[in-house]
Amino acid sequence: MRSLRVMFVSMTMIAIVLAVYLSAVLVPATRWYEPRELLVVGQTEDGQPQVTLERKIHASFSGRYMVQVRWAEGRGAPSDPDYVEAGALACYGGDETNYKGGLDSPYTASLIEFTGDSPRCNSLPDGIFYVNVCWTVLRPYLGLVPPKEICVTSNPFRVENNRFRP
């Protein structure tokens, strides 16, 4: 009888621990970081587009961001040596940083700054592009669950004569 009680208590504890762990695994990245809108508009005096990110940082965390600038429309014919397929990667950048919780204000930067000063994004060719950025919460719940990721995509923007246009 005693062994049945011990087994029942053990199984109950395992079920509770498993339920708590699964609940933590299912918590989305927005528990820490909530990107609301990513706009690429206007240009700075040096011709770079302005990136404005509306976001809220709910809780402090160590994270990584990865920015990709992609072609929104293809360019040329497949037989053309300058052919580019829609969605192809034009440039990228990113970094790891510590995010401080409680911040609820827009972040504005040039595209170069936004990509972590990636030199590849400094001189995009003529075309229409969009920005995709993903943030990763590296060690949620002290690293007890896998990293969490959330992504957002910008509006399309145009580059003409090596100048950016909204």
- SS3 label, residue 149: strand
Q: What is the structure's pLDDT at 90?
A: 93
Q: Give 19 or 110, the one with higher predicted confidence.
A: 110
In this structure, the number of other CB atoms found within 10 A of the CB of residue 105 comes to 9
**166: pLDDT strictly greater than 60:** no
pLDDT tier at 19 (50, 70, 90 boundaries)? confident
Task: Give the predicted TM-score (pTM) of the model.
Answer: 0.83
| Domains identified in the chain and CATH numbers | 29-165 (2.60.40)
* Maximum CA extent, the chain: 84
Residue 134 CA to residue 1 CA, distance in Å, equals 55
**46: pLDDT strictly greater than 70:** no
Residues 6+ apart with CB under 8 A from 61: 32, 33, 98, 99, 101, 137, 138, 139, 140
Q: What is the structure's pLDDT at 162?
A: 61
Question: Which residues are registered as beta bridge partners of 98?
Answer: 62
